[in-house]
Amino acid sequence: SSTAAQPPLPFRPNERILCFHGPLLYEAKVVKAELWDGRDADASDPGPHYFVHYKGWKQTWDEWVDESRALKFNEENLAKQKALRQAALQAAKKKTLIVPAKHSSALKTESESESPHQAPSQQQQQQQHQGPQRSRKRGRDSVAEKQPREEREDSAGSGGGAQKGPEVKLPIPNALKAQLVDDWERITKDKLLVPLPRDPTVAQMLALYQEHRRTTKDKRRPAGKRDDEIVDEIVDGLRIYFDKALGNILLYRFERYQYKQLREKYPAKQPSEIYGPEHLLRLFVQLPNMIAHTNMDDDAVLLIKENMADILKYMHKTAKSLFAEEYENASPAYVAIAKAT
């Protein structure tokens, strides 16, 4: 795509520049500099082009840019970079949504959790400052087994009061515990995002589960219309819980800007119509503590526990068709805003 004899270009290989990516400017290095003549089908825009590497970013973000996106690295353009970033941050703050907080006593707002979906204990906060030291196996065990106790301690410490209801333990299969840890690592460490809207969404997955229950006979469950009604009621309740809980306690800090963008893009849709099994699974970690803060009697709690365990069993069995194999790279512009908000 380059000509045989190139006239001098404004920027040379290895030169430090500022480069537009989206609405913001980022420091980058010129890897290649070429003058395109417009005759190449894969490089149709004539003029100077630069293959750039963004400082601090993986090589997967390296790209060709035209001269309109490249600026000299000087004081004037550094000031422009700062002004653009401040404007973007102000715009992001103005667009902050107010999340409905119904059932706020049960849905305790999560301090930005950076562990596999639980509010961080004091020990975990120390580990965060010291860097990741925990093995995958310990992470998986702590997700489902330690979480209810730590959540109760956090509630008591923040004025949430003692547990009201009976203690509930949900049996999360080991493969799903591993999914929770992988999900956490991809988002908090690798700075990736779940591709949204998901297919299936939470609403779609729960509908598939309802159909599964109607067509699958289990001798341990009462057959007939009554069982179907119970399942429908529990599934509806779980979906409502998910819609209320997502913005309050189910998101990692890095995902919050994505949440704001999606709520603006799909204002008529509930979270259960956008998010998928990855986020629903996080709800099961929080459910024991949420149920403990209700006034349900023992029979109702037992019924919910049995049905939640059955949903987890279904998710385990159909995991390959439920969970996203690949997460999305977040753009440098997204990362900059997410870090600052």
How high is the mean pLDDT in each 10-residue block of the chain (341 residues)?
Answer: 63 94 88 85 76 86 88 94 82 48 37 48 38 38 38 34 60 91 92 95 95 74 66 92 93 95 95 97 90 79 89 95 94 89 76
Structure tokens that stand for 275 in this block? 């998010």
Extract long-range pairs of 58-62: CB within 8 Å, 24+ residues apart.
60/329, 61/21, 61/329, 61/332, 62/31
CA atoms of 2 and 75, how far apart (whole Å): 31
The pLDDT value recorded for residue 279 is 97
Amino acid identity, residue 73? Answer: F
Extract long-range pairs of 95-101: CB within 8 Å, 24+ residues apart.
95/260, 95/264, 96/260, 96/341, 97/247, 97/260, 97/263, 97/264, 99/247, 99/248, 100/244, 100/247, 101/244, 101/248
CA atoms of 1 and 149, how far apart (whole Å): 62
List C-alpha distances in Å: 13 to 10, 29, 37, 40, 62: 10, 8, 19, 22, 14
Give Cα 322 distance to the centre of its chain: 16
The pLDDT value recorded for residue 116 is 61
8 A C-beta contact, residue 213 and residue 317 = no
Degrees to nearest 5, angle at CA 213 with 211 and 218: 150
pTM score: 0.58
The pLDDT value recorded for residue 84 is 86
Instruction: Show Cβ contacts of residue 135 under 8 Å, excluding neighbours closer than 6 positions.
Output: none
